[in-house]
Structure 1
Amino acid sequence: MVAPASLLVRPNPADPKLTHAVDGIDQAGNAVCISVPVERPLTLFLNKREIVTMMTISDYPDCLAVGYLLNQNMLRPGDEITGIDYDDDLEVVVVRTATETNFEDKLRKKTLTSGCAQGTAFGDLLERFERITLDPKAILRTSWFYSLSRAINLTPSLYLEAGAIHGCVLCERDVPLIYMEDVGRHNAIDKIAGYMFLNGIRPEGKLLYTTGRLTSEMVIKIVRMEIPILISRNGFTAWGVDLARQANLTLIGRAKGSRFTALSGIERIVFDSDMAETDA
């Protein structure tokens, strides 16, 4: 298997830091040795304030940190990042900005009054969510979908090497661009958001393919990234569908082989493939 040449970022299943060999037995009692992903804590600081500790495979910590802050509304597009420091031994990543962020100021006020900022942060997420207009002219041709599915499924990955992992792929038309993996689908998508921000990649004309469930969290993140089309080989949650319809996000799930189910934004889908030929 060979990864598409178009990929700017691709999985690296050969990286010895990402997997660990574990001995066991199979259903017949025979000795086996398999690879399993290595899960490590990563504590994120925004300037001098500790934000969260995430469990991750610890590749692309800079992208994960920035993407998490962006998708949680803790960083705004206008905030200037002056540095990102990562210490592998301490398992800490620090994102530094030129000035105190809006979130830090809001967190301090909330902490002084009630001791909890999470409700405020979530309210901010939905407030921004409701103001975003996704590109109504974006389309998804079914021929692109089938081509992408084949390319992604045949790309060497940590999932194929060790399992127990989720993948997210940023694509343009039928071309995979950025393929990130992690133990949590939310981490994988945050890595893509961070990479896009740090490398000036715009969301116009993009779609995102994920192996994870289409939950409210995933829909909120994708809409905040202003990507109009989200595809998953997995299923939906009711609130995820409700939010997708509210934002007019094209939401496609249960995508396996030539089959898929679209529950939102169906006007963007262009049926230009012969199903019989696709199944052949």
Structure 2
Amino acid sequence: MINEITTLQNIVRYNGQRFVEAEDDIAIESALTIILDGDEFATMVCTPSELQELVVGFLASEGVIRSYQDIKSLHIDEDKGFAYVDLINQHSIQKDFHSKRFIGSCCGKGRQFYFHNDVKTAKTIRSNLTITPYQCRKLMEKLQESSLHFQQTGGVHNAALCTRDGIIISRTDIGRHNALDKLFGYCIIHKIPLKDKIIAFSGRISSEVLLKAAKIGVGIILSKSAPTNLALSLADELGITAVGFIRGNGFNVYTHQERIQEVVTQE
């Protein structure tokens, strides 16, 4: 496994009049298998960068760990595509638990489909953070300006952990959920407080993406794209402000509009 994001590919390009030989930047796609306490746990198809963050974020998202200190050792064999993880308290792999659907009820409303591990790890967000429309637009603008690998390939997603005033860290992956897991892993490894943080995201806000934001613990997610109806049901229930179609001077606020204000308030 090569720790790169893009590779050059010889292609033939049609320019509207004739075919010409050229080179094109292509997003790299690799498989990474997590071996957890000696047993195969999961295989992810991903961009082979920031793999330690990806593994840590994924395990936290799945409810396997709560902190970086839960990990006894973590070794990544990039050439063969394996991540070997041993925990302080050995994990008993329950494959049915990590894949079985769960349906519950809340406040008289039919709760949306969750996986069992989502029930355990998705947080209801209580953050009082607010952000202005101008800050929403500027954060999305900064994300797009920094998305060099998307500009090169058009084949990756980008996610950024932000404050009101700028991007703290951004991550890239062919999988939108992987990009968020890399952010999650970074936060866990570096013990980043999250109550005053925002996620800016390049792709659509699906239910999976929304649940990742809830697991990370942020109250505002910004996207240049659209949400799904299930994502918005979850956002409403879990206390997350979902903002989509941030393009030019406008955007749509779909849930918990109280966090988007012309003048920010103190948390």
- Give the residue type in structure 2 aligned to 1:124: N
Residue 30 (1) aligns with residue 17 (2): no
- 2:118 corresponds to which residue? 125
Task: Write out per-residue CA displacement over residues 77-107 of structure 1, whole angstroms, 9 at most, x where no aligned residue.
Answer: 4861122101111111122211113xx25x1
- Give the residue type in structure 1 aligned to 2:59: L
- Give the residue type in structure 1 aligned to 2:210: V
Q: Distance in 1 between matches of 2:26 and 2:54?
A: 21
**Count of equivalent residues:** 248
CA RMSD in angstroms comes to 2.2
Residue 71 (1) aligns with residue 52 (2): no
Residue 85 (1) aligns with residue 75 (2): yes
Q: Distance in 1 between matches of 2:90 and 2:5?
A: 34
Task: Write out per-residue CA displacement over residues 95-131 of structure 1, whole angstroms, 9 at most, x where no aligned residue.
Answer: 2211113xx25x17x5xxxxx75107922312443xx
Q: Could you say if the C-alpha distance between residues 192 and 49 of structure 1 is closer, same or farther in structure 2, counting changes exceeding 3 Å?
A: same
* Percent of residue pairs bearing the same amino acid type: 23
- 1:252 corresponds to which residue? 243
| Contact residue 56 and residue 68 of structure 2 kept, 8 A | no
Residue 95 (1) aligns with residue 76 (2): no
Task: Write out per-residue CA displacement over residues 148-185 of structure 1, whole angstroms, 9 at most, x where no aligned residue.
Answer: 22322222521112221100000011210110000011
Task: Write out per-residue CA displacement over residues 15-74 of structure 1, whole angstroms, 9 at most, x where no aligned residue.
Answer: 983222122222432222211111111111222121111111210111001101111222
Residue 215 (1) aligns with residue 206 (2): yes
Residue 177 (1) aligns with residue 158 (2): no
Cα drift, residue 134 of structure 1:
1.3
Unpaired runs of 5+ residues, structure 2, are 103-114
Q: Could you say if the C-alpha distance between residues 77 and 142 of structure 1 is closer, same or farther in structure 2, counting changes exceeding 3 Å?
A: same
| Contact residue 3 and residue 48 of structure 2 kept, 8 A | no
Q: Could you say if the C-alpha distance between residues 90 and 128 of structure 1 is closer, same or farther in structure 2, counting changes exceeding 3 Å?
A: closer
Unpaired runs of 5+ residues, structure 1, are 1-14, 111-115, 274-280
TM-score in terms of structure 2 length: 0.86
Written as runs of structure 1 = structure 2, the 5 A alignment for 1:196-275 is 196-272=187-263
TM-score in terms of structure 1 length: 0.82
- 2:40 corresponds to which residue? 50
Q: Distance in 2 between matches of 1:120 and 1:79?
A: 29
